[in-house]
Structure 1
Amino acid sequence: MPTNRTSENPAPASFNQSVIDEFRANGGKVSGPFEGGDLLLLTTTGAKSGASRTTPLGYVRHGDELLVVGSNLGRPRHPDWYHNLLAHPVVSVEIGSRQFEALAVPAEGARREELFAHVVREEPGYGEYQDRTTRLLPVIVLERAEPEGWVAPREIRTLADKLMEVHTWLRDQLRQVRAEVEAHFAAREAHLAAREAHFAASEDHLAADGGEPPAPSLGLQIRQRCLAFCQALEFHHVSEDSHLFPGIAQYHPHLGDVFDRLGKEHRTVARIQNDLVTLLSGIAIADPQRFRAELEEMSAELNAHLDYEEDSILPLLADVPWPPAGGPAGERE
């Protein structure tokens, strides 16, 4: 049977916590019925509560990918952690003594079928769970959270370096989302062109074929990455407004106009970000054309804002050491 029954079983919280404690105390090894199984700890952010929730889960490797399945022992409902990662796509993963951030992306369509078949070959019990329910068991790929090709700018020694690292990450994340969206629209246009060609060749093709496949939709890969970007951007700007900018303003009161402009730009970006999050509120992205337009507006506004902030603020932070004395450095703030 699959080794993730610890997480899927609605066992008392104390039982799951004992598994978590043993896992962390022994470098990922646990005893009892789970001994020798492939087990990880998945920490998600509660969809409603916003609190961190850690769940022991069995996993299956597929090449370099890590797969987890929302089986819930074949029950009618998806497990809570699945709803959490749809709301907050960036998760924390612990395997052995290693911990890292990942982007959780549910597989779709033919890819989901391929991955689930692989999972069942490795752990046949998941097939039994699928047989118990009419819902499709989600197969979630735990991908690297960083954008493809991400390289940290350089060694982080000053607050200016840290701010530049955050800006570079945001730019790269937005660039990757835009590239995935443009690839989607190219595929969609190719589909429509093929449809028109097929229609021209045979006016009766719909009756003969029994219908046609729908145009490709914006997928969960795009949704999850864009939502993660929006949440990281909001955190960054709230941190600047609450801490960074007021701290700098105390020492540079003559820069009031600069901070007024930065605050106004934050509000503009926040409006676009909120529009994007609204379009991402469901599993399927609402209004793909509007989503594309909002993403382009975000790119123009955010990049112009980051350029201005770097020109006006970075020189003031070049001599401020990072991490600050007496406190650990954050991952990205």
Structure 2
Amino acid sequence: MHPSHPPNGRLTALGIQLIEIHHWLREELARLRASLDSPGDPGVGLTRELRAHCAGFCAALDRHHTGEDGGAFRVLAEQVPELRPVLAELSADHTVVASILTRVDKLLADATDGRSVRAELDGLAALLESHFTYEERKLVAALNRLAGDPVELLGVTPPKGGSPS
């Protein structure tokens, strides 16, 4: 009898799930930024729907980074000590991202138009692109050797046509 998945299929999936989560976060951030480019009334970009979408995105990104810091990064530091300097850099990025998310949240509450929010999201997009690319390059192979619950290790599961859990 042959198993339906190779023995390491579950292990490999964790690294792939990280890439899928990053892909979804990139797409959501691109959608948010594009929605702030709406022509017409300068305040049109800050509709209730956009504020809710932005808050949801920010919460998902924060859950992901908090999950990594308390889950996957902790486990990787124990099992692959040579990755500790990389993990420290990535955790430092998470602190910078959290600061940006706090500013975005404040701007969403205070701003009368989307320009200031767009500026923060543009900076966030540049930082995240560099961060995600570096993280994927440095950690996917190590993550592929780990077993565990993606919510515990990565903060969220890869979305299947919707928002991650």
TM-score higher than 0.5 here? Answer: yes
Of 141, 144, 162, the match for 2:17: 162
Instruction: Show structure 1 runs of 5+ residues with no match.
Output: 1-154, 190-214, 325-329
- SS at structure 2 position matched to 1:281: helix
Match of 1:259 among 87, 94, 101: 87
1:298 matched to 2:124? The reply is yes
Partner Cα distance (2:83, 2:22) in 1:
21
Higher relative contact order (CA 8 A, sep 6+): 2
In 2: Cα distance, 1:287 partner to 1:275 partner? 15
Give, in angstroms, the shift of residue 254 of structure 1: 1.6
Number of residue pairs matched? 145
Aligned amino acid, residue 57 of structure 2: F
1:142-291, aligned counterparts within 5 Å?
158-182=13-37, 184=38, 186-188=39-41, 216=44, 218-281=46-109, 285-291=111-117
Identity rate, percent: 32
Aligned residue type for 2:26: R
Runs of 4+ in structure 1 off by over 6 angstroms are none
Point out the structure with the larger helix share.
Answer: 2
Deviation of residue 161 (structure 1)? 1.6
Aligned equivalents of 1:237, 1:172: Cα separation in 2 = 17
Whether contact under 8 Å (2:77, 2:84) holds in the other structure is yes
- The gaps in structure 2 that reach 5 residues or longer are 1-8, 151-155, 158-163
Instruction: Tell me how far apart the structure 2 counterparts of residues 158 and 216 of structure 1 sit (CA, whole Å).
Output: 41
Name whichever structure is richer in strand by fraction.
Answer: 1
Deviation track 1:98-124 (CA, whole Å, cap 9, x = no partner) reads: xxxxxxxxxxxxxxxxxxxxxxxxxxx
Give the C-alpha shift of residue 322 in structure 1: 6.2
Name the structure 2 match of 1:18. none
Task: Specify the code of the residue in structure 2 equivalent to 1:302.
Answer: L
- Contact 2:15 2:141 (8 Å CA) reproduced: yes
Structure showing greater Rg: 1
For 2:142 and 2:45, the matched residues in 1 are separated by 46
What's the counterpart of residue 28 of structure 1?
none
Tell me, what secondary structure is at the counterpart of 2:29? helix
**What is the letter of the counterpart of residue 296 of structure 1?**
D
The CA distance in 2 between the partners of 1:244 and 1:322, in whole Å, is 9
Q: What is the CA RMSD across the aligned residues, in angstroms?
A: 2.5
What is the identity, as a one-letter code, of the residue corresponding to 2:134? Y
